[in-house]
């Protein structure tokens, strides 16, 4: 369905974007290779939630976008990817790539909403309509010819972007009925990084795994297990005496851009600082072959017993020396990298603790925008509201906040985009919190938008409704 909102004006390639009635945000000039592809959740392997190039959408024309509602044969409780001028079915298309909760991965024409190809994993009918789902955003590597996607059968697939045909598949769990691929896939340095958690209700046995795959061959490079961590390779969950400690934050494994190391946060589970790492932040080598650092709160046993997962969200790299970690207990902890170093267990020692919006559980992925070398902005949204924090001098200071719920924030083209899962995509000035626009849309769950190339794409729907249909909203500049 197309809906014309108003006639719009297209702003050319400016380096400085004027935001509505005030506020100026500087962004680097776009380049031809990076500007028009959105290859992973939150834009980059670093999970910043910041797209640093022009989108052609501004505070002056955002209310004049044209909306197309695309009916899907599955719910996308995640984000989508985008490729400009992609080769699909031997023709050039601007295309979105998405994965539904039951594991269908599709290429959708960004101009018409037509499904160009659809990949359905073997065994689809055996879990479709059940509670066995995935909420993983797919990934595209440095080669534009492939997309990597997850399915509820515990496999990840390498697909040709031209045809959707399978290049290889590899299992990342030995018990897909208990271990879920919930987090976004990540791609870095020729490797696919996948994490696993448990299903709603935490039915044992399961463990959190970080699985690193060579994308050229499909071979598993290394596996790090959050429980029975002294064992390498994929575990049969029944063979480990401990259960839980899933890795299920929206971002999954975060790549530290300075070192290439991986950061993950685990959920409820036992912690002994030796082989059991429940409710912890873990720093791993880039191939997940070893631990470089760790942290758990002093009350880790209490978090476990109260179902207050530290790993309800993934870590955020504030700078080379600091990491922020939210949680289900309504707190954001600032951690010093130097205090986490090594395999010796590190308990407590937070440098700062601030509340999440409204003190609510944090399930979304915060966005971190490094405005200057001395100042960064942390944007956080949850079911109780949205807050913006200034990061400077090793300290978070609150800049603004409101009571509007949101999923994972996105800063793109100088505008802050936050989806309210109750319905509505809110657009703010990032430094003041002034509401620029609200784009009407339906409700959802963990869905989050992308804004690129004169378009905004947002899936609707909740994976927990177990529906085999859904909606993709595409707003675009009128041509």
Tens of pLDDT, residue by residue, the chain (479 residues) = 333 333 223 233 333 333 333 333 444 444 433 457 999 999 999 999 999 999 999 999 999 999 999 999 999 999 999 999 999 999 999 999 999 999 999 999 999 999 999 999 999 999 999 999 999 999 999 888 999 999 999 999 999 999 999 999 999 999 999 999 999 999 999 999 999 999 999 999 999 999 999 999 999 999 999 999 999 999 999 999 999 999 999 999 999 999 999 999 999 999 999 999 999 999 999 999 999 999 999 999 999 999 999 999 999 999 999 999 999 999 999 999 999 999 999 999 999 999 999 999 999 999 999 999 999 999 999 999 999 999 999 999 999 999 999 999 999 999 999 999 999 999 999 999 999 999 999 999 999 999 999 999 999 999 999 999 999 999 999 86
Q: Are strands 316-319 and 376-382 parallel, antiparallel or unpaired?
A: unpaired
Per-residue model confidence (pLDDT) at position 2: 34
For 331, residues 6+ apart whose C-beta sits below 8 A from its C-beta are 353, 354, 355, 356
Is the Cα torsion angle 336, 338, 44, 289 positive or negative in sign? negative
**Which residues on adjacent β-strands are paired with residue 389?**
378, 398
| Whole-number Å distance between alpha carbons of 306 and 88 | 49
**pTM (two decimals):** 0.93
Spell 15-46 as b/e; 16+ CB within 10 A means b: eebebbeeeebebeeeeeeebbbbbbbbbbbb
């Amino acid at each position: 369905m197309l809906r014309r909102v108003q006639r719009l004006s297209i702003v050319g390639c400016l380096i400085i974007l004027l935001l509505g009635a005030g506020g100026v945000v500087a962004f680097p000039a776009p380049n031809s290779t990076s500007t028009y592809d959105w290859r992973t959740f939150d834009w980059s392997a670093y999970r910043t939630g910041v797209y640093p190039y022009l989108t052609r959408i501004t505070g002056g024309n955002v209310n004049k976008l044209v909306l197309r509602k695309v009916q899907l044969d599955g719910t996308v409780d995640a984000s989508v990817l985008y490729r400009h001028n992609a080769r699909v079915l031997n023709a050039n298309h601007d295309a979105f790539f998405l994965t539904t909760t039951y594991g269908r991965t599709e290429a959708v024409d960004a101009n018409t909403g037509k499904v160009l190809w659809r990949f359905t994993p073997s065994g689809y009918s055996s879990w479709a309509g059940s509670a066995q789902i995935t909420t993983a955003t797919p990934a595209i590597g440095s080669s534009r010819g492939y997309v990597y996607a997850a399915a509820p059968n515990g496999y990840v697939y390498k697909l040709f972007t031209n045809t959707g045909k399978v290049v290889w598949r590899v299992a990342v769990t030995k018990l897909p009925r208990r271990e879920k691929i919930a987090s976004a896939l990540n791609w870095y340095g020729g490797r696919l990084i996948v994490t696993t958690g448990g299903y709603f209700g935490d039915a044992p046995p399961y463990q959190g795994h970080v699985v690193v795959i060579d994308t050229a061959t499909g071979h598993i490079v290394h596996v790090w297990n959050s429980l029975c961590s002294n064992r390498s390779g994929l575990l049969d969950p029944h063979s480990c005496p401990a259960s839980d400690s899933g890795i299920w934050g929206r971002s999954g494994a975060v790549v530290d851009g300075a070192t290439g190391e991986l950061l993950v946060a685990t959920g409820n589970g036992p912690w002994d600082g030796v082989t059991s790492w429940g409710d912890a932040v873990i720093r791993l080598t880039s191939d997940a072959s070893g631990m470089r650092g760790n942290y758990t709160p002093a009350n880790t046993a209490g978090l476990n017993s109260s179902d207050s997962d530290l790993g309800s969200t993934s870590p955020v790299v504030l700078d080379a020396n600091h990491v922020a970690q939210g949680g289900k207990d309504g707190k954001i902890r600032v951690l010093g990298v130097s205090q986490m170093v090594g395999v010796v267990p590190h308990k407590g020692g937070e440098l700062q603790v601030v509340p999440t919006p409204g003190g609510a559980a944090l399930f979304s992925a915060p966005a971190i925008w490094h405005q200057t070398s001395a100042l960064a902005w942390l944007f956080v949204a949850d079911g109780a509201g949205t807050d913006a924090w200034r990061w400077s001098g090793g300290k978070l200071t609150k800049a603004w906040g409101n009571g509007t719920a949101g999923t994972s924030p996105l800063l793109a083209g100088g505008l802050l985009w936050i989806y309210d899962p109750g319905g509505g995509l809110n657009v703010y000035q990032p430094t003041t919190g002034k509401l620029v626009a609200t784009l009407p849309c339906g409700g959802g769950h963990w869905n989050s938008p992308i804004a690129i190339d004169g378009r905004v794409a947002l899936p609707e729907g909740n994976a927990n409704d177990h529906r085999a249909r859904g909606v993709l909203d595409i707003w675009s500049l009128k041509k």
